[in-house]
Amino acid sequence: MAGKYRAAFFWIVFTAAVFTGCATTVSFKTQQPPVWNTLGIQRLAVMPFTATYYSVLQRRTANWLTNEALKRIKSTDHFTLVNSSEVTRELTGKGNIENIADALFNGQLLYVSVRDRTSREQKHNKDGALSYYPLYHREVRMSFDYSLIRTGGGIAGSNTVRDVTISDSNEIRWNLKSEEVMIQELIKSNMAEIYRYIAPYTQTEYRRLEKEKSKDKFIKQRAKEAGELVKIGNYKNAQEAFLGVYRDSGSFASAFNAGLLIEAQGDLDGAAAFMQKMYHETGNPKFVSEITRLRKALDDAELLKAYAENKEKLSNTVLCKDIW
């Protein structure tokens, strides 16, 4: 199975070797499955956020939440979006919404509040005298939740609650950010990671090479030379160089680095098997955490394969077109 997961569904791509002092950190781009189980969902309707109270501020905030959620979900390019009005019309007519949507993204604004206050501050003038001045503050607090419900029954994404706050201060009252601007900033920053919940996504991860601790100058020099190969992106030769150091000295650091570089070249199966072999040979417990991490990555790879196959299958089916 070695090399089974090279770049296909769980891919790892070298982007850079970051240098922190004497340590070399290798960065990877990895594809991750979503937090929620959205397998089988293709047609998705983003329903308007509801509000617990219907003040003007609540209505406007609920509308901003809806628009931001729609924008973020649409940007994943993972679903066929169904207009929420189509779902509402079907529900009103007591029809079967399964005919037009596989799932509904629902949200609720629990509360939003704006608080203004003034404090009395002090500072020293140029002549050293103490003077007082007013400082104006504005704080916006908001709580909202969202979830993903399959129309055929069942919860694809459990209820996620966000309790968030933003504040601003200024010596001039009219220079404070408006409540509308602050609310929208709060929504954008706290909706930014919705994509992680609903669709496969790419993230950057970092792995730090182990530093050679041998007192043998020759071994240290060989490990340093292997590290230089990593810095220029020559992973294959660096892997072989670290393996040579391990075979000649039993160095944990070189064995660990060789395993890391196998992973860096996209071979998750090979990396997991190598780390397991090194644990049996050295007994070093640090290999255990790497084995656990790599096994999870392999499980994620299988899940990502299912997402890819599912999307391809559904894309070949006649579905509702986006209505916007």
Kindly write down the DSSP assignment for every residue of 187-227, as one continuous string. HHHHHTTHHHHHS-EEEEEEEEPPPP--S-HHHHHHHHHHH
CATH topology for 210-311 is 1.25.40
Contact 196, 77 (CB under 8 A): no
Label residues 37-61 b or e (16+ Cβ within 10 Å = b): ebeebbbbbbbbbebeeeeebbebb
Q: Range(s) for CATH 3.30.160 in the chain? A: 43-198
Lowest mean pLDDT among 159-173, 237-251, 305-319: 305-319
Task: Give the 3-state secondary structure of residue 298.
Answer: helix
The pLDDT tens digits for 99-116 are 999 999 999 999 999 999
Q: Where are the alpha helices (DSSP H) in 209-283?
A: 217-231, 235-249, 252-264, 268-282
- Report how far apart, in Å, the C-alpha atoms of 34 and of each of 31, 39, 87, 224, 324 are: 10, 10, 25, 39, 25
3: tokens are 């090399």
DSSP H or E stretch at residue 108: strand 103-124
What is the reported pLDDT for 276? 96
The pLDDT tens digits for 261-298 are 999 888 999 999 999 999 999 999 999 999 999 999 99
Say how far apart CA 29 and CA 11 lie, in whole Å: 8
Enumerate residues 6+ apart whose C-beta is below 8 A from 216. 249
- Average pLDDT score over residue span 134-163: 92
What is the reported pLDDT for 17? 53
What is the reported pLDDT for 153? 87
Distance of CA 100 to the CA centre of its chain: 30
Q: Does the pLDDT at position 8 exceed 70?
A: no
Query: Which letter does DSSP use for residue 110 in this model?
Result: E
Q: Does the pLDDT at position 83 exceed 90?
A: yes
- Report how far apart, in Å, the C-alpha atoms of 288 and of each of 236, 253, 294 are: 24, 15, 10
What is the reported pLDDT for 220? 93
Q: Does the pLDDT at position 91 exceed 80?
A: yes
- Average pLDDT score over residue span 201-219: 91
In 3D space, the residue among 292, 235, 285, 224 whose CA is nearest the CA of residue 260 turns out to be: 235
Q: Does the pLDDT at position 9 exceed 70?
A: no
Q: Does the pLDDT at position 20 exceed 50?
A: no
Lowest mean pLDDT among 58-62, 127-131, 205-209: 127-131
User: pLDDT confidence of 123, banded at 50, 70, 90?
Assistant: confident
Q: What are the DSSP calls for 65-94, one per residue?
A: HHHHHHHHHHHTT-SEEE-HHHHHHHHHTT
The residue among 241 and 316 whose pLDDT is bigger is: 241
Q: Does the pLDDT at position 233 exceed 80?
A: yes
The 10 Å Cβ neighbour count of residue 36 is 19
Contact 285, 259 (CB under 8 A): no
Say how far apart CA 323 and CA 64 lie, in whole Å: 19
CATH topology for 43-198 is Double Stranded RNA Binding Domain (3.30.160)
Mean pLDDT rounded to a whole number for the chain? 88
Q: Range(s) for CATH 1.25.40.10 in the chain? A: 210-311
- Average pLDDT score over residue span 208-224: 93
